[in-house]
Structure 1
Amino acid sequence: MTRTSYHHGALRDTLLAACLRLIETEGIGAVSLRRVAREAGVSTGAPYHHFADRAALLAALSTQGFQLLGNEVTAARAAADTPLQALTALAETYVRFSREHPGHFRLMFRPELSQPDKHPDAMDAGDAAFAVLADTVADCVAAGLLPADKADTIAVAWWGLAHGLASLWLDGQLEKRSVQLGTEAPALVDDIMRTFTALIAPSA
């Protein structure tokens, strides 16, 4: 099989992989349908069989990223022994995801690029990933560990804290600070999330 005779589904996956490589090596600004086609080794017209424009390609990659994240946090929640342990595990998984999937992570929270208003799949996938966190907070509320009237606030605060740590780690700042504190980034993330847990659920 030549690189220009991909099966219909395989071509789409190949284009997404090529786009991801470009983002990780040269940044989002390097992405164009023509450049992605060249990276994938296909004709310049091939991407248009799947993506109407650059935004559609980026939206598909963003959707893929949120689906991967959703799968990982779902698994982390299922593996935890208690709701509070699940909250910590979700944060640690979120931060690790940013390191293991930097191309996806840098794109997923750039709506001006993926245009979720025109490509609702990306928004739906993002909402589904967030729902895992919201459900875990709800588990904590049901167990009497967190106040019901603050569930939504806590979920957003938890996301904000995890996202901030993920961004700091991705940019190299968390590792730098960890060295200064005489520890390692994973241990620092764990300590931060456990400290936050103790603050919001001191009687647990």
Structure 2
Amino acid sequence: MTRTSYHHGALRDALLAACLRLIETEGIAAVSLRRVARAAGVSSGAPYHHFADRAALLADLATQGFRLLTDQLSVARATAGSPTAALLALEQSYIRFAREQPGYFRLMFRPELSQPEKHPDTRAAGEAAFGVLAAAVDACVTAGELPPERAEPTALTLWALGHGLASLWLDGQLDKRGTLFGTTAAALIDSVVDGIPGFLGAGTGSPPVRPPE
């Protein structure tokens, strides 16, 4: 598109796409409205038709990322065969999202940049993504695979586990560990994720933990 051919909706989408490309190639620090405008092939004033400032642009992009993550997590959960299997599928889906969408992932958890308290849509989108995991953990409680009092700690632990593994992989740390032990980063992640049923006390030959009557 030339700078004169954008219509109103396409301009916003083009600016968001340009911002994402800039993050992926040069990092978040490289983002400015001027740089994004230049990458999108529009005038330096064009972004202000949609975004009040840099933080507003980053917040909208983070919101877009959270919604994409929510969609992928929802599919992973819906296609799993059991409540515990859903937790494993969610961990793998979360890590895969980070690998396939590093620009989104590096931005989405930087509140000092996206300012979610000033952008409620971003906060709501983030809560929706976590809600998929929380609902999957609740399903384990309902199935008798997890006591109710462990639901919230388990959800937070699984989030931390998935986020930590994803971050380590993106930063190249798991590749180093894999080389050291003669394996791959993907294999290391699989071995960790496969241990989740044992952490829950379900599967791997152990009887499921039943909630009190």
TM surpasses 0.5? yes
What residue number does 2:22 align with? 22
Give the drift of 1:182: 2.5
Q: Over aligned residue pairs, what C-alpha RMSD do you find?
A: 1.1
Matched, 1:150 2:164: no
Runs of 4+ in structure 1 deviating by more than 6 angstroms, as ranges, are none
Tell me, yes or no, if structure 1 residue 188 matches structure 2 residue 151.
no
Mapped partners of 2:91, 2:175: distance in 1: 17
Shifted more, 175-184 versus 9-18: the winner is 175-184
1:7 Cα offset (Å): 1.4
In the alignment, is the contact (CA less than 8 A) between 2:70 and 2:129 conserved in 1?
yes
Contact 1:4 1:43 in 2 (8 A): no
User: Cα deviation per residue 1:50-82 (whole Å; 9 max; x = unaligned)?
Assistant: 000000000000000000100000000011001
- In structure 1, the residue corresponding to 2:91 is in which secondary structure? helix
What does residue 200 of structure 2 align with? Answer: 200
Who is 1:71 aligned against?
71
Give TM-score, length-normalised by structure 1: 0.97
| In structure 2, C-alpha distance between the alignment counterparts of 1:19 and 1:145, rounded to whole Å | 43
**How many Å apart are 1:45 and its aligned residue?**
0.8
**2:211 corresponds to:** none
Residue pair 1:88, 1:190 contacting (<8 A) in 2 also = no
Distance 1:2 1:137 in 2: 49
Tell me, yes or no, if the aligned pair for 1:178 and 1:185 is still in contact at 8 Å: yes
1:129 counterpart letter in structure 2: A
- Is contact 2:80–2:89 with CA below 8 Å preserved after alignment? yes
Aligned 8 A contact 2:3 2:43 in 1 = no
Amino acid at match of 2:101: H
Deviation at 1:200, TM superposition (A): 2.0
Rounded to whole Å, the distance in 2 between the matches of 1:181 and 1:83 is 32
Q: Gapped runs of 5+ residues in structure 2? A: 209-213
Question: What does residue 103 of structure 2 align with?
Answer: 103
Partner of 1:121: 121
- The aligned length equals 204
Contact 1:4 1:41 in 2 (8 A): no
How many angstroms apart in 2 are the aligned matches of 1:71 and 1:186? 23
Q: In structure 2, what is the Cα distance between the partners aligned to 1:33 and 1:198?
A: 48
- Conserved 8 A contact 1:58-1:113: yes
Task: Please tell me whether residue 44 in structure 1 is matched to residue 35 in structure 2.
Answer: no
Matched-pair identity in %: 65
Runs of 5+ in structure 1 lacking a partner? none
What displacement does 1:189 show?
Answer: 1.3
Corresponding residue of 1:171? 171
Query: Are the counterparts in 1 of residues 88 and 196 from structure 2 also a CA contact under 8 Å?
Result: no
State the alpha-carbon separation in 2 of the partners of residues 2 and 17 from structure 1: 15
- Report the CA distance between 1:2 and its aligned residue: 2.9
Q: Which amino acid aligns with 1:62?
A: A
Equivalent AA in structure 1 for residue 141 of structure 2: V
